[in-house]
Structure 1
Amino acid sequence: MPGVGVDPAAFARHAEELGLESLWHGDHLIPVTPFLDSTMVMAATAAVTTRIGLGFGVMVLALRPVAWAAKQVATLQRLSGNRVLLGVGAGGDPHGDAAWHAVGVPFAERGSRTDAALRVLPGLVRGEPTPLNGRDVVLAPGAPVPPLLVGGDSRAALRRAARFGDHWYPSFATTARIAAGVRELADLAAAHGRPTPGVTAGVPVALGDVPASALERRVRAMRDYGLGEEQAREVLVTGTPERAAERFAELAEAGVDRVVAMPFTDDRFRQAELVARAAAARP
């Protein structure tokens, strides 16, 4: 999705016309850069599109009371015709604990609270009687539970994906790390008696003629986000659409079913066009 300052409705229409499979938006309360509310953006996008998937990349579930999160998800499913792709995550260190302090949730409890929320979220979204805080809760109207994509590439995230997820959703992970994670995920899912989740990978992209200074700024930003220099440079997808198609094919060989391209330059509409060309050029 576009950053602040780009009309999300116009961008969504453009992406749908290009034939892209889905649109994605991050979810932050107090991040290091300005961010629009993900659920509001998704509602606006649902209103102006008819086909394209609406992906949370990812909803930080523990920042919200789970009943409210479920209500928002069910409402978006009904408004969009069941097009939501619900990425969920526990949140990480790079943005600090300001958002957690603001909502009164201990930062150290984000993982356990995410697991607790995932145990009850499907029933709440479907509108089924679901035990919550000592009594059964029914949210109406219910809706089909969207695909659940569990974000992160830590051991805890893999365990969470194996237990609850339809997909594992790592971002900024190298191809080798994803391949290793896929093997581990299969074992973890089998231990829960579940099929191996699919894999959706988020990758930063800047296609076409991009100034070197823009790439260096992005590398610095990813280093600030906790990535090492070598990893930050390795995960960038740059160059022609044909070269990007080759990179996407390499990810597919590692077990990736869906690539979420995350453009970081200002020409977001043009980047969407180049990503669509890359998707069409995949061998």
Structure 2
Amino acid sequence: MIHSDTLRVGVVLKDLAVATGREIGGAARFAEELGMDSVFVGDHLVPAVPYPDSVTVLATAAAATERIRVGFGVMVLALRPVAWAAKQIATLQQMSGDRVVLGVGSSGEMHGRAAWDAVGVPFEERGRRTDESLALLPGLIAGKPTRVGGAEITIAPSASVPPIWIGGNSAVAIRRTARHGDAWFPSMITPEEVAAGARRLAELAGEAGRPAPGLAVGGAVALGPDASAGLEEHVRGLHEGYGLPLDEARRVPITGSPQQVAERLAEYAEAGARHVVLGTASGDWRRQWELIAEARALL
């Protein structure tokens, strides 16, 4: 057994483009049966490939399971009126039995500008609007009278405020986490970068008079012989989409045996991460999840 402090492990729901509600529910149950701690889904209005609504997917996953947490990885909050977002989140939190993890991000150039044009939100204002929404969201979800625009409203039914994870690898994301987040949620990042970000996060949170937020990390796996074929394509995507140098991009995906995977996860735990959310870069996702579960059992 590899020692680490408690590290929770989640997986990203796959093949959503053509999935039925039964298939999404079945995938979430499969993750729960494997002992995973969470299932996550992305949030795209105008994606490159068909991608269903994140709130609906997570509601379907929650209805099919009993224990596993359901998470946004991440909700692009500024695309939505904050009152509507609060209503959706509160309802999902209530109906899931307080199992929501609210990852929040502001999107970026790699996701394009079409969605922002479609909803009439200037792309350049996404950061400011994200911060404004995060300031209002907890009160709205909790059912507190909150002034939004020109009206004071109260969301009902209210719910407990889910943990808010702030997505993004940038200094801006770390500052946003220090002000508004329960955890920093970077993706495709090395353990060394996680540790450095954690130190900066603790400094900023202290200056703001808040306890240091937690850490969660998004990553990708390519495990077993059937996953190697798509690995290089995933590395190129990290290089082109995330701007990572190729040598660093090759270090980010987690490969190898369950024992080697457990060792890599332990490195993130030692850097301060308490939750790792893993997507599958290649190969059959069911088999990938089984191998992740084997690695998780070794922690």
TM superposition score category, shorter chain reference: over 0.9
Q: Name the residue aligned to 1:109.
A: 125
The answer to whether residue 99 in structure 2 is matched with residue 83 in structure 1 is yes
Query: Runs of 4 or more off by more than 6 Å in structure 1?
Result: none
Shift, 1:96, TM fit: 1.0
Q: Name the residue aligned to 1:3.
A: 15
Question: Which of the numbers 248, 272, 277 marks the counterpart of 2:289?
Answer: 272
- Output one character per residue of 1:145-185: Cα deviation in whole Å (capped at 9) or x when no partner: 00000000111100000111110000011111111100000
Distance, in Å, in 2 between the alignment partners of 1:210 and 1:178 is 30
Distance, in Å, in 2 between the alignment partners of 1:207 and 1:216 is 13
Q: Is the 8 A contact 1:208 1:241 kept in 2?
A: no
The secondary structure found in structure 1 opposite 2:220 is: strand
Of structures 1 and 2, the one with the larger relative CO (CA 8 A, separation 6+) is 2
Q: Name the residue aligned to 2:7.
A: none
- Output one character per residue of 1:13-59: Cα deviation in whole Å (capped at 9) or x when no partner: 10011111010111111123332211010010111101000010100
TM-score (norm 2): 0.92
Q: Which runs of 5+ in 2 are unaligned?
A: 1-12
Q: Name the residue aligned to 1:57.
A: 73
Q: Is the 8 A contact 2:226 2:284 kept in 1?
A: no
Question: Which of the numbers 89, 111, 130 marks the counterpart of 2:146?
Answer: 130
Q: Which moved more, 1:62-71 or 1:225-234?
A: 225-234
Distance, in Å, in 1 between the alignment partners of 2:283 and 2:55 is 23
Q: Is the 8 A contact 2:230 2:283 kept in 1?
A: no
Aligned-residue identity in percent: 52
The secondary structure found in structure 1 opposite 2:111 is: coil
The answer to whether residue 269 in structure 2 is matched with residue 252 in structure 1 is yes
The secondary structure found in structure 1 opposite 2:226 is: coil
Q: Name the residue aligned to 1:233.
A: 250
Q: Which runs of 5+ in 1 are unaligned?
A: none
The secondary structure found in structure 2 opposite 1:24 is: strand
RMSD between aligned residues: 1.1
Q: Name the residue aligned to 2:3.
A: none
Distance, in Å, in 1 between the alignment partners of 2:185 and 2:217 is 5
TM-score (norm 1): 0.97
Distance, in Å, in 1 between the alignment partners of 2:283 and 2:100 is 26
**After superposition, where does 1:1-283 map in structure 2 within 5 Å?**
1-4=13-16, 5-6=18-19, 7-228=23-244, 229-282=246-299
The secondary structure found in structure 2 opposite 1:272 is: helix
